[in-house]
Amino acid sequence: MFAVHLLAFHFTKLKEDQIKKVDRYLYQLRLSDDVLLDVMARFQAEMVKGLGRDTNPTATVKMLPSFVRSLPDGSEKGEFLAVDLGGSQFRAHQVKVFDDGRQSSQLDSKCYPTPKEVTQGNGAELFDYIADCLSDFMETKNLKQKKLPLGFTFSFPCKQTKLEEGVLLEWTKHFRVRGVQDTDVVSSLRRALQKHKDIDVDVLALVNDTVGTMMTCGYDDQRCEVGLIIGTGTNACYMEEMRHISLVEGDEGRMCINTEWGAFGDDGALDDLRTEFDRELDLGSLNPGKQLFEKMISSLYLGELVRLILLKMTKEGLLFNGKVSTALLTKGKIEMKHVSAMEKYKEGLSNTKEILTELNLFPSEEDCVAVQHVCTIVSFRSANLCAAALAAILSRLRENKKLLRMRTTVGIDGGLYKTHPKYAQRLHKVLRRLVPTCEVRFVLSEGGSGRGAAVVTAVARRLAAQRRRLDGALAAFLLPPGTLREVRDKMRAELEYGLKRETQGEATVKMLPTYVCGTPDGTEKGKFLALDLGGTNFRVLLVKIKNGRRRSVQMYNKIFAIPLEIMQGTGEELFDHIVQCIAEFLEYMGIKGARLPLGFTFSFPCRQASIDKGTLVGWTKGFKATDCEGEDVVDMLREAIRRRNEFDLDIVAVVNDTVGTMMTCGYEDPNCEIGLIAGTGSNVCYMEDMKNIEIVEGNEGKMCINTEWGAFGDNGCIDHIRTKYDREVDEGSLNPGKQRYEKMTSGMYLGEIVRQILIDLTKQGLLFRGHISESLRKRGIFETKFLSQIESDRLALLQVRRILQQLGLDSTCEDSIIVKEVCGVVSRRAARLCGAGLAAVVEKKRENRGVDRLQITVGVDGTLYKLHPHFSTVLQETVKELAPQCDVTFMLSEDGSGKGAALITAVAKRLHNVGQK
């Protein structure tokens, strides 16, 4: 028993001594975590360099866009072909993808040899060989009578400009085919396939094997957004944010980037880590100075690296008693399969002895222990370096998503990872240490890159079909110039109908006289009260106007909410609530006893008989208070003040918010004779020549006309441009059939149009995996402010997804892109229609003045115009396009409904005083 223990102790001591000897000899191959974190940082810097348009030409890590923009979503289906070129064999596949709710697929494959005369011959021969093999495969599987889409896995660096095109940058691995570099490999394959008249194959996608691996695993696990190959070669791909890829136009969504990380270090960035053995191996390779990272990692080179180390150690007398065999001197005699066998847990030492004996080396036990440890150090360094680069990719993904912790899946393939007894375990362990903030699941690729190519092709076909259906749904919102000119001309005709006595009664654009007959001239002064009613909030303001050299306008205001039950209660309740708010404000300002002149901004259609009389034509914007329509709102306000019996006011003017906007800007710019509101509602006013206003007596001077253009189209004149979504919004509104133009252009309705489109697209299976959430069913959930946020150029898709999540909509990246596109077409149409209407008004002003070219200012207010990132630009461009003889300046109004009401009151007082004199 003692002898057994003594023998065990002797062997353990022997093993420790040999391991220490090898560790000292190969200390440069043993990398600490600090070194690996440094490698990780270097690789991250190379990734950034590769993604930049200006820095990419000098980057070693090429970060090639793959034009794979979407991961599988489970709805893919159909029958596909795939061919796979890049490994030791060429493979043809038939893949059936089933849309059965279980995301299942069926793979049928056949392997063909890749003889040296093919891999190192000329291009025509290579592609003819591929086409011949595919024809044979289709014959075997009885597929020649079918027209099938094909995915082409081509495991070499290619520059792609689209999914079905790729120019070979350089050959790697053992391939050296002449006449292919710098040419499109898909075109070459198509030419070869055309020679086979009996098969009909459509090449839809060119895929790198790494991308194919990610897509294969992504079909089973939708968290998979990284692909990794560790085999004959090594490479990684991942889903990058489009906004970071300056090599490709557009910044929406994501695209798979094929890093081609094998070339990392080709610029010398890893020279401090490369050993004499790495340099010797590189010099003896087919491509000296290239793919230096791959030569430290992949199975094609690790066996040779072990051979070079053993050869030097033997020559130095550290192994085999210094006796070198012919086999040990022969390149390629130690392969990766030998390294894996020697590192096996139990039989590793016996395998080592057997392999070394076959090399005529006659090893001792000490030699076997030492050689086994050399293999361990070489393969461990490979796993360490691979983990460092993968950690860089995972960190970038986490930073892109702005997450503190991230869960993700890496799809993986390659013989080294699959067959080496300890490689996977080592890689996982080191990765956890390097990126503790990432929880990573590794999924082995089943069916490899061939199945992945078929999945990419299936996704491409799904996206193409979705794109056609999406374009069909949104086509009606894309108004061509001819249609916009037609809208402009119809608006112009409606303006004329509203001004004429005999047609005004039936006109939809009512062209209401405001009895505002002048704009500010700078002499206005005094204290004025202003009331502002036009939305869910009500404001009371005290406005102090000074003239002369210290000309200024000071405002003090307080905002009061109007509850829904008041908005839709009785008229008496509404005006009592308004007067209560006024009382609180007067108390707050300490001016309850003063009888101040008041301007009442009442942002609803009114028919005015004078500046202080306004009969409500009809409620808009959600108001439904009873016993108000057909009544004078100034009288209703006076009655409510009388009922309260606490204070008295001099109500000088009832004002529309659009007129207030024009007057506010007119105070700063005398050339301002048009007011535009583009907010909750939509409206325009302008100064019209009295001689054109047949419904008001007198021909001298001008008067501001409140067009109330929101009702444009209520007679059906624009029905041909209304979509089914517009009709659904109209039918579900408080005033069906009314304010049709406003319902296509104003902030109150745009969000609801978007919601109706999203419901329709979801029913078609184009959004949210076909599931209509409860929140999406709620009318009004999609507020117009969300359009402004979603369409912001500064907002990444991740933030768009967060907005949708706040609305209870669980969206993918692809969903977010579609939602952003829907918001864009709805808001752009609104701005274009608004611009067409405004072009009609400015053209009328030009003709009124009888000039060839008009210079005029439009005062603008409204949250849609002010806050939406693109609305104002599109509107201005449309006016310029449709009214080319008008130079229009747009001026933002500062509080048109408050300050404007006070200015109108001041102007009215000034004109009244002039009249009295």
DSSP string, 574-603: HHHHHHHHHHHHHHHHT-TT---EEEEEE-
Q: In one letter, which amino acid is 529?
A: L
The pLDDT of residue 834: 97
Tokens for 753, please give them: 């149009």
Number of neighbours of residue 52 by Cβ within 10 angstroms:
17
Residues 6+ apart with CB under 8 A from 842: 674, 854, 856, 858, 879, 883, 886, 888
Marked catalytic residue, from 367, 532, 632, 657: 657
What angle is formed at CA 477 by the lines to CA 475 and CA 481, rounded to 5 degrees? 100
Give per-residue pLDDT as tens, 138-183: 999 998 888 889 888 888 888 888 888 999 998 887 788 999 999 9
d(CA 876, CA 861): 14
- Residue 740: which of 702, 762, 713 has the closest Cα? 713
Taking only the tens place, the pLDDT of each residue in 681-694 is 899 999 999 999 99
Within 10 Å of residue 77's Cβ, how many Cβ atoms? 14
Q: Which residue has the higher pLDDT, 105 or 456?
A: 456
Phi/psi of residue 421, each to 5°?
Answer: -65, -25
pLDDT (0 to 100) of residue 379: 96
- For residues 543 and 898, is the Cβ–Cβ distance under 8 A? yes
Record the tokens describing residue 223, joined without a space: 């968290």
pLDDT tens-place string over residues 275-286:
999 999 999 998
Q: What does the H/E/C string look like for 622-634? A: CCCCECCCCCEHH
Q: Is the pLDDT of residue 200 over 70?
A: yes
Average pLDDT, the chain: 89
Q: What residues contact 901, with CB distance under 8 A and at least 6 apart?
A: 528, 530, 531, 532, 541, 599, 600, 601, 653, 655, 660
Q: Write down how long the chain is.
A: 917
Q: What is the DSSP string of 101-124?
A: SS-EEEEEEEEEE--HHHHTSBHH
Of the listed 42, 488, 539, 829, which one is catalytic? 539
Give 346-397 as a 3 state SS string: CCHHHHHHHHHHHCCCCCCHHHHHHHHHHHHHHHHHHHHHHHHHHHHHHHHH
d(CA 414, CA 299): 9
Long-range residue pairs from 74-77, CB within 8 A, at least 24 positions apart, any chain: 74/99, 74/101, 74/103, 74/219, 74/222, 74/769, 75/99, 75/462, 75/765, 76/219, 76/455, 76/458, 76/459, 76/461, 76/462, 77/458
Question: For 591-618, what is the mean pLDDT?
Answer: 86
Task: Return the minimum-mean-pLDDT range out of 2-11, 544-553, 840-849.
Answer: 2-11
Q: Say if CB 518 and CB 866 are below 8 A apart.
A: no
Percent of the chain with pLDDT over 70: 96
What pLDDT does residue 795 have? 63
Tens digit of each residue's pLDDT (9 = 90 or more) over 748-757: 999 999 999 9
Concerning whether 489 is annotated as a catalytic residue, the answer is no
Residue 3 has pLDDT above 60, yes or no: no
Active site residue 657: yes
pLDDT score for 447:
66
Q: Where are the beta strands (DSSP E) in 39-135?
A: 64-65, 78-85, 89-98, 104-113
Confidence check: pLDDT of 4 > 60: no
Cα angle: 796, vertex 800, 803; to 5 degrees: 140
Q: Is the pLDDT of residue 549 over 90?
A: no
Asked whether 155 and 449 are in contact (CB, 8 A), the reply is yes
**Both tokens assigned to 698:** 């007198």
pLDDT confidence of residue 98: 76
pLDDT score for 2? 43
From the candidates 340, 379, 603, 682, which is the catalytic residue?
603
Q: Does 133 have pLDDT greater than 80?
A: yes
Query: How much is the average pLDDT of 471-488?
Result: 95
Residue 60, CA distances (Å) to 211, 259, 289, 478, 778 in order: 19, 10, 12, 44, 52
User: How far is it, in rounded angstroms, from Cα 206 to Cα 201?
Assistant: 14
Active site residue 576: no
Which of 209-213, 311-315, 813-817 is least confident? 813-817
CA angle centred on 580, ends 575 and 582, rounded to 5°: 95
To the question of pTM greater than 0.85 for the whole model, the response is no
Q: What is the mean pLDDT of residues 418-429?
A: 95
Rg of the chain on CA atoms, in Å: 38
Confidence of residue 640 (pLDDT cuts 50, 70, 90): very high
Residue 876 to residue 254: CA distance in whole angstroms? 32
Residue pair 710/742 in contact by the 8 Å Cβ criterion = yes
pLDDT at 787: 84
Maximum C-alpha span of the chain = 133
User: Which DSSP category does 88 fall into?
Assistant: S
Contact 803, 819 (CB under 8 A): no
CB 186 within 8 A of CB 165: yes
pLDDT at 765: 86
What's the average model confidence in pLDDT over 109-127? Answer: 91
Q: How confident is residue 451, by pLDDT bands cut at 50, 70 and 90?
A: confident
E-state strands within 656-742: 672-678, 682-689, 702-706
What whole-number distance in Å separates Cα of residue 622 and Cα of residue 502?
31
- For 677, residues 6+ apart whose C-beta sits below 8 A from its C-beta are 603, 657, 658, 661, 683, 684, 860, 861, 862, 896
CA distance 449 to 215: 8
Return the percentage of the chain with pLDDT > 90, whole number: 57
Residue 458: pLDDT band (50, 70, 90) is confident
Binning pLDDT at 50, 70 and 90, where does residue 796 land? low
Per-residue confidence (pLDDT) for residue 652, from 0 to 100:
86
pLDDT at 221 over 90: no
> Which two tokens mark 781?
């959930």
Q: Would the pLDDT of 855 be above 60? A: yes
Tokens of 156: 């070499």
Q: What pLDDT is stored for residue 8 in this prediction? A: 47
pLDDT at 755: 93
- Whether the pLDDT of residue 790 is over 90: the answer is no
Question: pLDDT by residue (tens digit) across 331-365?
Answer: 999 999 999 999 998 899 999 999 999 999 989 99
* Residue among 450, 170, 414 nearest 299 (CA): 414
Say what the pLDDT of residue 875 is: 97
User: What's the first-to-final CA gap in the chain, in angstroms?
Assistant: 132
Tokens of 899: 């300050």
**Is the pLDDT confidence value at 679 over 80?**
yes
Edge to edge, the sheet with strand 512-513 lists 512-513, 702-706, 682-689, 672-678, 854-861, 886-892
CA 790 vs CA 16, 316, 732, 795, 799: distances in Å: 63, 69, 25, 7, 8
Confidence of residue 391 (pLDDT cuts 50, 70, 90): very high
Strands of the 254-258 sheet, one edge to the other: 64-65, 254-258, 234-241, 224-230, 406-413, 438-444
* pLDDT over 70 (residue 492): yes
Residue indicated by tokens 């209401």:
512
**Residue 159's pLDDT is what?**
87
Q: Which of 17-31, 100-114, 661-675 has the lowest mean pLDDT?
A: 100-114
pLDDT band of 699, cuts 50, 70, 90: confident
pLDDT over 90 (residue 770): no
Helix or strand holding residue 252 (H, E) = none
What residue ranges in 679-770 does DSSP mark as E strands?
682-689, 702-706
Kind of pairing between the strands at 104-113 and 89-98: antiparallel
CB atoms under 10 Å from CB of 904, counted, come to: 34
Looking at residues 767-785, what average pLDDT do you find? 85
- Helices and strands in the chain, H and E counts: 31, 26
Taking alpha carbons only, the member of 790, 890, 788 closest to residue 838 is 890
